[in-house]
Amino acid sequence: MIPPLPSIPSFPELSWKFKDGRYSIDEADADKLLDYGENKLPLYRYQMDVYRKSMDRIIKGLKKEEQVFQ
């Protein structure tokens, strides 16, 4: 059975403010952005690595079966 592909985490909605020629976000939005970059993206990378390894094992198994039936 093929494992489901991990879903890409959605980028958080942030409320940007423009003042004195600079864009900024408040502390709550900064926490959302940090959580996305430090937690959600690394978790997604890990899940994709696990997915690739699982798919490699499936492909190797199918190749072995193919060789047996030739």
Total domains, the chain? 1
Grade residue 17 by pLDDT with cuts at 50, 70 and 90.
very high
Is 19 inside a domain boundary?
no
Is 2 inside a domain boundary?
no
Q: Is the pLDDT of residue 65 over 90?
A: no
Is 6 inside a domain boundary?
no
Is 3 inside a domain boundary?
no
Is 17 inside a domain boundary?
no
Is 14 inside a domain boundary?
no
CA distance 27 to 37: 15
Domain that holds residue 59: 26-68
3-state secondary structure of 17: strand
Q: What is the pTM of this model?
A: 0.80
Is 46 inside a domain boundary?
yes
Is the separation of the CB atoms in 25 and 33 below 8 Å? yes
Q: What is the DSSP string of the chain?
A: -PPPPPPPPPPPP---EEETTEEE--HHHHHHHHHIIIIIHHHHHHHHHHHHHHHHHHHHHHHHHHHHT-
Is 57 inside a domain boundary?
yes
> Tell me, what's the pLDDT at 33?
98
pLDDT tens digits for range 19-59? 999 999 999 999 999 999 999 999 999 999 999 999 999 99
